[in-house]
A and B are shown apart, each in its own frame.
Chain A
């Protein structure tokens, strides 16, 4: 956010990128979006007012305190109050972001973590999956939020990161840039829950870099539950070091357009398990996952499900890249799509690139739909069309939730989904 103070410099940067775009292969729409964004940045006001007192009312009673000293003005105070009260989960350790500012951290967390700000220097030596939104995020954020989890810790309670997008600065663009570093021999679970107000159109650009050091385990659960008009763009990089494990589950419940790009880099004897569920309900979802097996004996397992309730577009691209050095590697990738609507368009491309002979790899894609006979069978047992949609969706969602082996996380996701 500091970068926003120097609007002129920022605009210069964007102009520079625009020139690059003109040279490159970007589409007309992308250019238009960029020009619109440039106009919006000019309007971006830096007015900030005190809000901490409101939030103190919620938390001081519980002997907790607010981390941020930033003075911010939240437009809809009641909305945030209610949201926090409704979504507060007692069995978790809470961090609250309002827009891209941390406003609250549970005191208990200071035993395990260090939070600071670091200069945002964009380095991606692998040079893959770069897109316009990553550049844009870097332009907005001169500094990124750096969260370091200390080594040799076993954090039993999940850390619950609640990201509320309320647009306190009359602007509907939110850029998150977070670097999470998990030190050696550490076990923890993180839940990231992203919500916003009902009526505002929001553009959220989320960039997360997670580095998991030796012998550590991360269970990472992400829930995207925005309003029907909102846009969500996310770029996630996971670097998994020797003998470490990543279990990554993400649930795309609601938003107008969603674009998620994830890059996973696996080192020696490291493992990653990815499960996702996308609900297509008058929205467009792009889900790209690139898994890179860099060293030997690494394992990856992925299952990505999508359920189309109403018309929309779902695009899935899953690439597994097995390196020359990464022999004795195992990889599995599956994409399963269920149609409940004829007008939905699905494009799915599971891909594998293997550069050594001593690896095992499977990839598949399934597209299912409920045919007339199945509808008829369920109807003759007294189920209306609405009932059929409900029961099929419930079963499909439940199937995805059952992938979560961590009982606490499972309980929480059930609570969040069925609260809706």
Chain B
């Protein structure tokens, strides 16, 4: 069964075509990677799926668990199990991580008709997850992403995944700005997060993270569409010849 089904998708930003006639199917439990040169439309795809208002779908549809989400609001998509990690995480001064995560956690549970969890239980839960990522307790008191290093921002994303337990996770350049040890740690956690009910789309420029995670399919994105789909073998060719080889 497909968790994500994109049919004939055309997307515009201010009359400029960004995605052109894209078709993509992702089954439950699969990991897909999307690679491609800068400006090819990889991040635009993730933001379109998330529901960013700047990206307007003028043709085609996106199905999440068989539901057409074209007209869903951004939060409704998240509540239906979509998680999008942004390339550059936004800072929100004045709002501390604990309040933000607690509210987010409970609003998703509420939508899914699960019981809300009280703050004491939530604190226990979050501290347990933070321990896995070697995060200090101070993190909860700090404002969301404010003054975070690149690595801390990515760790924050992973912590959110651990808490919110989404069904489809889109990670946009999760490996950028990470040192080798952190990258390895995060890759292992992502690998452990993979299960029969959870799918991933990993957008990246580098093959290191893919070596750890082992995606089933690697899609090469160019000029707003997928021009080639292959398995891990394609990584060697990309390293040797770059993306120019595909353009020919």
Which positions 94-121 of chain B face chain A at CB distance < 8 Å? Answer: 94-96, 99-100, 103-104, 107-108, 111
Q: For chain A, give the interface size range.
A: 20 to 34
Shortest distance between the CB of A388 and any CB in chain B (Å): 9
A177-B84 Cα distance, complex, nearest whole Å: 59
B51, B94, B96, B164: the one contacting A381 at CB < 8 Å is B164
Query: Is the pair B94, A399 in contact by a Cβ cutoff of 8 Å?
Result: yes
Query: Is the pair B90, A382 in contact by a Cβ cutoff of 8 Å?
Result: no
Query: Is the pair B100, A381 in contact by a Cβ cutoff of 8 Å?
Result: yes
Shortest distance between the CB of A371 and any CB in chain B (Å): 9
Q: For the complex, is A264 an interface residue (Cβ under 8 Å from B)?
A: no
| Other A-B pairs, 18, CB within 8 Å; known A374-B92, A380-B84, A383-B103 | A368-B93, A368-B94, A377-B86, A377-B90, A377-B144, A379-B74, A379-B75, A380-B86, A381-B100, A381-B104, A382-B111, A383-B75, A383-B107, A387-B75, A387-B103, A391-B95, A391-B100, A392-B94
**Residues of chain A within 8 A of B107, CB atoms compared:** 382-384, 387
**Residues of chain A within 8 A of B111, CB atoms compared:** 382
Query: Is the pair B100, A384 in contact by a Cβ cutoff of 8 Å?
Result: no
**Residues of chain A within 8 A of B77, CB atoms compared:** 380
Q: For the complex, is B154 an interface residue (Cβ under 8 Å from A)?
A: no
Query: Is the pair B95, A382 in contact by a Cβ cutoff of 8 Å?
Result: no
A387-B144 Cα distance, complex, nearest whole Å: 16
Query: Is the pair B50, A380 in contact by a Cβ cutoff of 8 Å?
Result: yes
B89, B94, B99, B103: the one contacting A338 at CB < 8 Å is B94
Q: For the complex, is B160 an interface residue (Cβ under 8 Å from A)?
A: yes
Query: Is the pair B73, A395 in contact by a Cβ cutoff of 8 Å?
Result: no
Which positions 362-407 of chain A face chain B at CB distance < 8 Å? Answer: 368, 370, 372-374, 376-384, 387, 390-392, 394-396, 398-399
Decide: A384 near B75, CB < 8 A? Known: A373-B90, A374-B90.
Answer: yes
A374-B96 Cα distance, complex, nearest whole Å: 14
Query: Is the pair A379, B99 in contact by a Cβ cutoff of 8 Å?
Result: no
Shortest distance between the CB of B46 and any CB in chain A (Å): 10
Query: Is the pair A382, B73 in contact by a Cβ cutoff of 8 Å?
Result: no
**Residues of chain B within 8 A of A372, CB atoms compared:** 53
